[in-house]
């Protein structure tokens, strides 16, 4: 039997932010992450992200809350969902305290996180929570009937 981890060698993450420096900061923060292997690709705009999603499979999207010319995630996430992306989307922002962040599930967002909260451990937790769910080995026999 092939396990989930042997089938999926690398988790592909699309990081969408109009500031390239944020992407570089993310890459530095997660450089120590060895398990699982993570490949992060950058998109500077929602248009570029839509194009990349049409061409490749991504396991997770980390999306900056505000991307010009869109106002915020309430406009960009429906665009991502509208082209058929069904994977997890996390909205990343410097400030996630605004009241409208409480509406994130209504727009197809799976979670929200502050930019200052992202590090290797947090990304590892997000991947385990939203991308892969490893069933304990002793349960797997129950499902192979």
Q: How many CB atoms lie within 10 A of CB 145?
A: 4
The predicted pLDDT at position 134 comes to: 54
Can you list the residues of the chain whose pLDDT is less than 70?
1-8, 70, 100-101, 133-145
What was the pLDDT predicted at 6? Answer: 39
Q: Are 107 and 77 in contact (CB under 8 A)?
A: yes
**Long-range contacts made by residues 18-23, C-beta under 8 angstroms, separation at least 24?**
18/44, 18/45, 18/64, 18/66, 18/67, 18/68, 19/64, 20/44, 22/64, 22/115
Q: Are 63 and 77 in contact (CB under 8 A)?
A: yes
pLDDT at 118: 87
Q: 């349960």: which residue's tokens? A: 139
Check: CB of residue 90 under 8 Å from CB of residue 111: yes
pLDDT of residue 44: 95
**pLDDT value, residue 42:** 96
pTM value is: 0.81
The pLDDT, as a whole number, for residue 8 is 53
Note the pLDDT tens digit of each residue in 11-37.
999 999 999 999 999 898 888 777 778
Strands 60-64 and 89-93: parallel
Question: For residue 69, what is the DSSP state?
Answer: T
pLDDT score recorded for residue 35? 76
How far is Cα 58 from Cα 20, in angstroms, rounded to an integer?
19
* Token pair 């080995």 in the structure block, residue: 137
User: Under 8 Å CB-to-CB from 131, ≥6 apart: which residues?
Assistant: 11, 59, 60, 87, 88
């Amino acid at each position: 039997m092939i396990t989930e981890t042997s089938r999926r060698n690398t988790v592909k993450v699309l990081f969408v932010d109009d500031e390239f420096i944020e992407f570089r900061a993310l890459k530095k923060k997660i450089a120590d992450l060895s398990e699982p292997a993570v490949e992060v690709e950058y998109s500077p705009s929602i248009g570029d992200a839509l194009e990349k999603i049409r061409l490749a499979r991504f396991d997770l999207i980390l999306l900056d809350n505000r991307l010009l010319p869109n106002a915020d995630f309430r406009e960009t996430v429906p665009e991502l969902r509208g082209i058929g992306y069904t994977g997890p989307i996390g909205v990343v922002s410097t400030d996630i305290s605004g009241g409208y962040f409480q509406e994130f599930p209504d727009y197809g967002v799976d979670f929200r996180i502050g930019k200052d909260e992202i590090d290797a451990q947090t990304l590892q937790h997000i991947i385990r929570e939203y991308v892969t769910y490893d069933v304990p080995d002793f349960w797997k026999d129950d499902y192979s009937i």
